[in-house]
């Protein structure tokens, strides 16, 4: 099993509580290529624990240093539900920031953006989408649709319970 971690970064913005997402760069051989996700990735041998993975990956992907950020907790581990995906377990760590940090995206990231929980809770945003992703059979899944961005899969499975918790 491949161990991985993501950072769910929360900030109290102008529109209320918001979280940071990345739009992964389109890359050959990347199973999650082009998807909307939380910053994070696979544990490196040098990572003392998965918390270190979340902090390191966030720094690498978006240039945000979470080492001094307030840690709010850890969410349940997640596994892909589609058998064609790699055998990975993802642990989400939740952080709070007092201000919005500057974002510097790496080559792994196409874009990074903040989304308010208020926007995510708008009735027209959450619904079902048909996913037709390379290597993944066509499926109808719950998702958040925000303009050109669709949050589905493990990111949706992290986000939905978090919205319930916060609401």
Spatial distance between the Cα atoms of 39 and 69, rounded to a whole number of angstroms: 15
Identify whether 17 is part of a domain: yes
Residue 162 token pair: 């978090």
In the predicted model, is pLDDT for residue 60 greater than 70?
A: yes
Identify whether 107 is part of a domain: yes
Spatial distance between the Cα atoms of 91 and 54, rounded to a whole number of angstroms: 9
| Nearest Cα to Cα of residue 84 among 131, 39, 127 | 131
Residue 125 token pair: 């945003």
The range of the structural domain enclosing residue 16 comes to 2-122
Worst-scoring range by mean pLDDT, 100-104, 140-144, 158-162? 140-144
pTM, rounded to two decimals: 0.92
pLDDT digits (tens, 9 = 90+) for 16-43: 999 999 999 987 766 667 889 999 999 9
Identify whether 155 is part of a domain: no
We report the CATH number of the domain holding residue 91 as 3.90.79.10
Identify whether 127 is part of a domain: no
Top-confidence residue, 55 or 154: 55
Q: Is the CA virtual torsion 153, 28, 112, 60 positive or negative?
A: positive
pLDDT of 165 reads 86
Identify whether 151 is part of a domain: no
pLDDT of 32 reads 65
Q: Is the CA virtual torsion 146, 149, 15, 165 positive or negative?
A: positive
Identify whether 133 is part of a domain: no
% of residues, the chain, pLDDT over 90: 71
Identify whether 77 is part of a domain: yes
Identify whether 40 is part of a domain: yes
Provide the number of structural domains found in the chain: 1
Residue 104 CA from chain centroid, whole number? 16
């Amino acid at each position: 099993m491949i161990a991985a971690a993501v950072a769910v970064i929360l900030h109290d913005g102008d529109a209320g509580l918001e979280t940071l997402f990345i739009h992964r760069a389109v890359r050959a051989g990347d199973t999650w290529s082009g998807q909307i996700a939380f910053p994070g990735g696979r544990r490196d041998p040098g990572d003392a624990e998965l918390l270190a993975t979340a902090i390191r990956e966030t720094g690498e992907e978006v240039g945000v240093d979470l080492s001094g950020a307030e840690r709010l907790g850890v969410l349940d581990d997640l596994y892909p539900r589609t058998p064609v995906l790699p055998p990975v377990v993802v642990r989400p760590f939740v952080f709070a920031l007092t201000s919005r940090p500057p974002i510097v995206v790496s080559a792994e990231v196409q874009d990074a953006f903040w989304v308010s929980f208020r926007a995510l809770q708008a009735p027209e945003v959450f619904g079902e989408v048909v996913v037709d992703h390379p290597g993944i059979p066509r499926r109808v899944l719950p998702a958040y649709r925000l303009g050109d961005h669709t949050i589905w899969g493990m990111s949706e499975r992290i986000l939905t319970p978090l919205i319930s918790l916060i609401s």
